[in-house]
Amino acid sequence: MDPHPFWVAGRPAAGDAELTVTNAYDGRVVGVCSVPTPSQVEEAVAAAAAVRGRAAALPLHVRAEALAHVSRRLAERAEEIARLITGENGKPILWARGEVTRAISTFRFAAEETRRLGGETMRLDTDAASTGRLAYVSRVPHGPVLAITPFNFPLNLVAHKVAPAIAVGAPVVVKPAPATPLSSLVLGEILAETGLPEGMFSVLPVPNDRAAALVEDPRLPVVSFTGSGPVGYAIMDRVPRKHVTLELGGNAAAVVLADADLDWAASRVALFSNYQAGQSCIAVQRVIVEEAVREDFLARLIPAVETLVTGDPSDDATQVGPLVSAEAAERVEKWVAEAVAGGARLLTGGTRDGATIAPTVLADVPREARIFCEEVFGPVMTVQSVSGVDAAFAAVNDSRYGLQAGVFTRDLDIAFRANRELEVGGVVIGDVPSYRADQMPYGGVKDSGVGREGVRSAMADLTYEKVMVLTGLSL
């Protein structure tokens, strides 16, 4: 099996070591990629720094057409790339196809937003001292971006960093997760077709223990990281003077109130606690049910969970596949066992077969159990009952995380109250917290991160306002 090249300053390259990528479900080798040497990493960073000025000056139509090209090529190669995602990540092909579709949209949105980029003019002669003066306000990139991406969405979360960077004219160096580098390398292959300036992008599958040097490099003034909280905040502490965006974890709550459509709520909670094998920072982890409908809801939820198709991720019918590794599944299994030993009731699931955890529902979980208060990142949900809206919203906020929350209600006043009171970055009314549209602002509060993604929001985050004042004008 020939190793995939990586990308240094827009050119394919091979290093002096290789990384083998295996499928978590059956252990087969999915692919091999070459690993860059320190000198090749230096070449990539130096090229990004060297092209900084040219990248910022690229005409908008050049940036937009490059992004549109990527969107078109992803669409043309959609099934191939979806199969690659399933192979390296283990997510069912159902969800892998959805990820490719989202990445196609992400690059298309970025192309559209690029064409809308423009400055703002402000007359300053509102005071006599500024007669004849006009301000032109534009957005300027902070500089080259280091994009550190996770394993759970190996294409679309790379797209959410690369597309906005190109849109604003910022070079980008991608460090993909070592478990899932192949999708980002294919993206590099497509980017190389665009004719973007040399140095505009690099994709470097370096081991995590070599990432610190990239984080600290002053030629990369922006760090955009998606992953675990301890790693993210360690990055921020390491480089306090850099512009750092962190999209971290969560233990997302779904609130089911007495007026909800219980069939709809149960079906959505069942599916989106377990999609991606629960390896999504907005997968449903905590289910908070109003006491009046608890038993009716559980009577719908448990069968909905038990009918999910778990198995081979390459099968079109599979809804729940393996976790990214057997080690990850062993951790989740341990957390479930700890909760049960502490008094939690296992309503369904809880078993492990290799890297696969059966979709699991727990009730009466002790507040101090890790599976309740930490991010489980597996196909497990906890169910707690509350007396009413006040207690439900308090339960949502009783967490150090605050990414997104879902509230199943048909009461418009309660919907707006949820938006006011819930300490999260996004509130989804009538559905699970797992909903994300790629053009909307996305990010959390508290320990769920700093900054916002979503194409336009990320473009604003990667830039700063610059003012030019024109003097002596007849306005």
Spatial contact of 396 and 446, defined as CB atoms under 8 Å apart: no
**What residues form DSSP beta bridges with 290?**
386
Nearest of 251, 145, 226, 234 to residue 451 by alpha carbon: 226
CA distance 170 to 189: 19
**What residues form DSSP beta bridges with 449?**
247
pLDDT at 200: 98
Spatial contact of 69 and 193, defined as CB atoms under 8 Å apart: yes
**What residues form DSSP beta bridges with 141?**
463
Reduced to 3 states (helix: H, G, I; strand: E, B; else coil), residue 240 is coil
CA distance 460 to 162: 14
Q: Single out the catalytic residue among 99, 113, 247, 453.
A: 247
CA distance 322 to 359: 11
Pairing relation of β-strands 29-35 and 145-148? unpaired
pTM of the model: 0.96
User: What does each of the 475 residues of the chain score in pLDDT, given as a tens digit?
Assistant: 789 999 999 999 999 999 999 999 999 999 999 999 999 999 999 999 999 999 999 999 999 999 999 999 999 999 999 999 999 999 999 999 999 999 999 999 999 999 999 999 999 999 999 999 999 999 999 999 999 999 999 999 999 999 999 999 999 999 999 999 999 999 999 999 999 999 999 999 999 999 999 999 999 999 999 999 999 999 999 999 999 999 999 999 999 999 999 999 999 999 999 999 999 999 999 999 999 999 999 999 999 999 999 999 999 999 999 999 999 999 999 999 999 999 999 999 999 999 999 999 999 999 999 999 999 999 999 999 999 999 999 999 999 999 999 999 999 999 999 999 999 999 999 999 999 999 999 999 999 999 999 999 999 999 999 999 999 999 9
Domain with CATH 3.40.309.10 in the chain: 253-437
Helices (H) and strands (E) in the chain — how many of each?
16, 24
Looking at CATH, the fold of the domain delimited by 6-248+449-468 is given as Aldehyde Dehydrogenase; Chain A, domain 1 (3.40.605)
Nearest of 358, 384, 354 to residue 369 by alpha carbon: 384
pLDDT in tens, 146-180: 999 999 999 999 999 999 999 999 999 999 999 99
Q: Single out the catalytic residue among 33, 281, 290, 333.
A: 281
Residue found under tokens 């009730």? 363
Spatial contact of 45 and 173, defined as CB atoms under 8 Å apart: yes
Residue found under tokens 């690993």? 35
Pairing relation of β-strands 445-446 and 401-402? antiparallel
Q: How many CB atoms lie within 10 A of CB 449?
A: 28
CA dist 193 to 66, 67, 87, 257, 430, Å?
A: 9, 11, 25, 51, 42
Catalytic residue check, 247? yes
Catalytic residue check, 281? yes
**What residues form DSSP beta bridges with 402?**
445
Cβ burial 3-32 (10 Å sphere, 16+ → b, else e): bbbbbbbbbebbbeeebebbbbbeeeebbe
Tokens describing residue 310: 């778990």
- Dihedral (C-alpha) 298, 302, 304, 306: value to the nearest 10 degrees? 180
pLDDT at 119: 92
Q: What strand order describes the sheet that includes 201-203?
A: 11-13, 6-8, 201-203, 172-175, 145-148, 222-226, 243-247, 449-450
Which CATH architecture fits 253-437? 3-Layer(aba) Sandwich (3.40)
Domain with CATH 3.40.605.10 in the chain: 6-248+449-468
- Dihedral (C-alpha) 257, 258, 262, 267: value to the nearest 10 degrees? 10
CA distance 284 to 253: 6
